Structure 1
């Protein structure tokens, strides 16, 4: 916003150089600089400049109308020529320079004709072209040359913003020059405009270059225009370089002393500067980004780090809570529970007219409902009132549950199980210790990026006049970072090159800009390490015959760190007991991968806890795939899982074969790495699909022939093929199909 205010101020005063027999030679190149940078700037510049002319140079309004009409036509032709790739518009600098030459010749030699030497006119024309070329060169540096961003913009030293401040100094000096031709009463406007820009530049840059403006503006006013009050400009530059809440007080005290001493010619000028300083502080408070002192930056970094650590610990605590709740009952209890659920279904559900609708609607929620009914949970009616109202046979189901309990169907653990708790406790202590060691090692081995540079990247985007409405550094590790940015009124194609170049300099690695969402006119993006592959996937699940629910469960998770996770778990047995085992396993997997640690470490921790619950005789297989989209590497973790097939473009088939037992039996987690290639297709499945077929070679041939289909269609085809062909043992079936494609270089 402050940038637009500056542009309005510059346009308002720069147009007044026409009062100095300069015609539009200084105004025109700045006008073209602004509108070529952003066409929308026209809506600010044209009206403001026209108002300025009407107030201070009424006789020039016809000439100004000619100028803006000609410039608008030129811009339309230029835009059309660029879009249609006309060769004449291929060299922007030449085309714009020729236009500046023609307009200046028209205004200086024809209308309004100026009574000055031809050599002076030629000098004005040359100066006009040189000013535009200077502005264009620095605009190109700011918008296109991002190779030295870190050196020029992201290091906290006295050379920060060197290139950009030269451009701002030139525009501010031109505005001061235009203001010098106008006085209101006995107050020349140059000291006021110069004071404003001295405050702005000194507050913003705080280096020798901001003081340079004060010196040049003072020399222009005092020596060039004989305005004594211009001497205050350099003093203001020096005062405002000092960042303090007392700055405005120091300045106004100095001005008050000068006014009261009666040693100055124009007290009104200094009173006006006092008003300008107050207005500037108000605008700066709301519009200028705060420059934190170094101690504050480190304080903020510490608080952020502490917050992140606390969040990670809470996530780990949540994982532990789920584990305790999930495995608080022994295997025998769950088997009895599964049998009780089967009794309820056989006696009440199978003959119910609502059975199909009920099971489709509540496939995964029926287990906790029936469990709480069977255990006569005291909060059941409060938790499941909707189900009670829906089920016509609820009272019969409830009576059956009470009868099963009266028969001691759901007694607590027996004495032997209770005595075993001592051994379990010892195992838990050791297991938790090992798990925490793995967690700490993984979280402390990461190297953080320079947080100051990440924060200054936001300031740089603001300098380029991007309306950044949201900026969060979610993760800041080398090769594992995530910055979420919201930018208003921009298209992805417009800002992607800028963000790419900027954050590649900040992070010292290639990055990808990933679209997140668009709300109203704000586009939200994630900046992450460069992605080289894309993954399209589909999945399907089918329970075995005579079962209402599958003992298999699957997990598909697209991480915000560029990883994609796929998992299949098969609980031991069938029905609700098997479903519970596999569902709990994948919920634990989902919880632990939220910790933002390496999947290998996460699964090692999870396996450690399953080793602990080995005393409870609870088992589930786990087939886990982690695809790193940054390097195209796939890591397969198999714990009692089925073989995974990778179908290649050349029709070869690679296999990732399981060599370990289910979770919690082996202390080591079996893993295999595989480098993915363009066109690879991965088939993950539970043992109900591939292992139970009599002839797997025929299935491989069938899948190879269907490789060109969409992933979801391939899932359907595999399930249908398995059902129709001979199977050794009927079992639950789950299939995940993934297709890999490499990203094209932009």
Structure 2
């Protein structure tokens, strides 16, 4: 604030000194500088006082009267404009200053005997004033607010470092889980020794030959080892070893039964232990994902506030020119190279639509910007946060058609259309195994988790893995779901496809239909999963078609994907909703009107804006 106060005092002093500047018997800098200062400064009456002090000190009475009347007229018209439009733009003020001064000059010289040269002089003075006001408003804005943008970006480094510290902590936790021992498929020598000690303590301890039998060079010792291996491998003793043991030991049957019981118990314990280790590995994956998202948040946005301070000053000036006061402004470049502008803004008076503010932002940045989908539509005198994104090149329209299995209450298929802040349009389809309420709940959980992870900023692969880990830990047997996801980059038109146990996806192009297949297992089967990721470039007018298993399985043809491609190509429509409905209608012809499984068709058309 002290710096701004100092600058204001300097500007007022300049206003006094400019009153001495004479050009061709005129003082055009007086109305020009006054007008620029009047609409740029909050202390308007100080501006008026400074200029009148300068005129009183340096101007003759006739010129003092002329420019005093001109300033009064300028003030009156500016206030009228602000009363009508709540704000006076720089160009309106420039026209006002030039026109009023010219008219007063012409009117004051009508009775003069100077000849006709005063007309040209008056017009040139008005043009000069217009140019000085237009330029002066921008210069004054830079002088008053240019340093503020540099101060705004200073706190960003501290926030980034905190996130990186958090990420490092999560990475450390993940490494601690990974270092834990992995599960064992076979019993170790130590465990075999424990089995021997348990059998000895329970059965052999009362036998006189106990010490002799369990010597390492004893034939029974080797035979016992072979017997343990067969029990571990087959779950029972092989007859050959069992008969040989009977020939050597009167307690062979008791030893065999006890060994089988101990190994069954060990198998159960090993299963639980391996499950625990699997859960540890999944937790490690989730910790890695958390660390990744924190690092991503710290580095995802490159702060360009300092590098582009001139452009941001231009944005602030144009916004102020339309009656919007920006108190905080940040410019970021995201990982995809697109710009994001974050501002805190209010109006000078009353409410104004965001549309006018967006026009000022777009003009200042030299490219089309759109406000975030959650932004408000009106801006008032209370400061509010408005986020702008660089506008996308493409846009999509979605369509859906679905049928529920005959005699089923609800569909086991669930889907989602989601547009992310990074300009990606997400289509997600999940088919719960079976049908009915259980399948619906399972696929609904999958869709909800995917939406939350993606909205939180996780990458598609990380979101799928974390969701799969959650479903595995949930541990409900024989209830699995598929994931079919398409992510369309609306800036470049590139689409990424991720399929986990899902049916084929189709791309309808102008030259034909392309089919994408997958052979991976559904979600929740194993924490070690394969994710099929494929990238395809889309063009203006292309269509995506995603279907659940029930649509293809009951076509009753040898090559259902080929038949579906023919169906899609035969439908002559550019309406995604009609395309989805038409596909289901054709499929019903193949099934004889019966819906033997839940059927869902998602479609999306992509067009250039």
- Is TM more than 0.5 here? yes
Residues 328 and 344 in structure 2, CA contact (< 8 A), matched pair in contact too: yes
Name the structure 2 match of 1:653. Answer: 513
Residues 149 and 329 in structure 2, CA contact (< 8 A), matched pair in contact too: no
Q: Tell me by how many angstroms 1:690 deviates.
A: 3.5
Residues 427 and 612 in structure 1, CA contact (< 8 A), matched pair in contact too: no
Give 3-state SS (helix, strand or coil) of 1:561's partner: coil
Question: 441-450 or 14-23: which moved more?
Answer: 14-23
User: Is residue 467 from structure 1 mapped to residue 318 from structure 2 by the alignment?
Assistant: no
Residues 484 and 525 in structure 1, CA contact (< 8 A), matched pair in contact too: yes
Deviations 1:188-244 (A, max 9, x none): xxxxxxxxxxxxx6xx678xxxxxxxxxxxxxxxxxxxxxxxxxxxxxxxxxxxxxx
Give 3-state SS (helix, strand or coil) of 1:642's partner: coil
1:158-307 pair list within 5 angstroms: 164=139, 292=151, 298=154, 301-303=157-159, 306=162
Task: Give the 3 Å change call, closer, same or farther, for CA 418–731 of structure 1 in structure 2.
Answer: farther
Name the structure 2 match of 1:644. Answer: 505
Residues 303 and 331 in structure 2, CA contact (< 8 A), matched pair in contact too: no
Task: Give the 3 Å change call, closer, same or farther, for CA 473–578 of structure 1 in structure 2.
Answer: farther
Name the structure 2 match of 1:545. Answer: 406
Name the structure 1 match of 2:442. Answer: 581
TM-score, reference length from structure 1: 0.50
Measure the CA separation in 1 of the matches of 2:515 and 2:568. 16
Measure the CA separation in 2 of the matches of 1:583 and 1:52. 73
Q: Tell me by how many angstroms 1:301 deviates.
A: 3.1
Name the structure 2 match of 1:692. Answer: 554
Name the structure 1 match of 2:204. Answer: none
Deviations 1:485-532 (A, max 9, x none): 35445666655465347668xxxxx77433534344359753335522
Task: Give the 3 Å change call, closer, same or farther, for CA 454–591 of structure 1 in structure 2.
Answer: farther
Question: 629-638 or 454-463: which moved more?
Answer: 454-463
Measure the CA separation in 2 of the matches of 1:624 and 1:73. 60
Residues 551 and 579 in structure 1, CA contact (< 8 A), matched pair in contact too: yes
Residues 451 and 476 in structure 1, CA contact (< 8 A), matched pair in contact too: no
Task: Give the 3 Å change call, closer, same or farther, for CA 708–126 of structure 1 in structure 2.
Answer: closer
Give 3-state SS (helix, strand or coil) of 1:426's partner: helix
User: Is residue 518 from structure 1 mapped to residue 376 from structure 2 by the alignment?
Assistant: yes
Name the structure 1 match of 2:110. Answer: 110
2:577 aligns with one of 694, 698, 712: 712
1:450 aligns with one of 294, 303, 325: 303
Task: Give the 3 Å change call, closer, same or farther, for CA 566–469 of structure 1 in structure 2.
Answer: farther
1:673 aligns with one of 512, 527, 535: 535
Measure the CA separation in 2 of the matches of 1:313 and 1:629. 35
Residues 483 and 522 in structure 2, CA contact (< 8 A), matched pair in contact too: yes
Name the structure 1 match of 2:606. Answer: 740
Give 3-state SS (helix, strand or coil) of 2:410's partner: coil
Residues 26 and 128 in structure 1, CA contact (< 8 A), matched pair in contact too: no
Task: Give the 3 Å change call, closer, same or farther, for CA 540–6 of structure 1 in structure 2.
Answer: farther
Deviations 1:564-621 (A, max 9, x none): 2111111111212212221222222223223413213332444456567789554211
2:495 aligns with one of 623, 629, 634: 634
Residues 608 and 667 in structure 1, CA contact (< 8 A), matched pair in contact too: no
Residues 415 and 427 in structure 2, CA contact (< 8 A), matched pair in contact too: yes
Q: Tell me by how many angstroms 1:455 deviates.
A: 10
User: Is residue 560 from structure 1 mapped to residue 417 from structure 2 by the alignment?
Assistant: no
Q: Tell me by how many angstroms 1:741 deviates.
A: 0.9
User: Is residue 25 from structure 1 mapped to residue 28 from structure 2 by the alignment?
Assistant: yes
Measure the CA separation in 2 of the matches of 1:480 and 1:442. 19
* CA RMSD after TM alignment: 5.8
Q: Tell me by how many angstroms 1:654 deviates.
A: 1.7
Measure the CA separation in 1 of the matches of 2:19 and 2:496. 69
Task: Give the 3 Å change call, closer, same or farther, for CA 29–641 of structure 1 in structure 2.
Answer: same
Task: Provide structure 1 residue ranges, at least 5 long, that are not aligned to the other structure.
Answer: 77-90, 143-163, 169-200, 207-288, 318-413, 505-509
TM-score, reference length from structure 2: 0.59
Deviations 1:274-313 (A, max 9, x none): xxxxxxxxxxxxxxx6974xxx965553136536986999
Residues 639 and 670 in structure 1, CA contact (< 8 A), matched pair in contact too: yes
The structure whose Rg is larger is 2
Task: Give the 3 Å change call, closer, same or farther, for CA 707–500 of structure 1 in structure 2.
Answer: same
Give 3-state SS (helix, strand or coil) of 2:461's partner: helix
Residues 511 and 527 in structure 1, CA contact (< 8 A), matched pair in contact too: no
Residues 515 and 524 in structure 1, CA contact (< 8 A), matched pair in contact too: no
Measure the CA separation in 1 of the matches of 2:568 and 2:538. 22
Task: Give the 3 Å change call, closer, same or farther, for CA 34–530 of structure 1 in structure 2.
Answer: same
Task: Give the 3 Å change call, closer, same or farther, for CA 478–688 of structure 1 in structure 2.
Answer: closer
Residues 571 and 582 in structure 1, CA contact (< 8 A), matched pair in contact too: yes
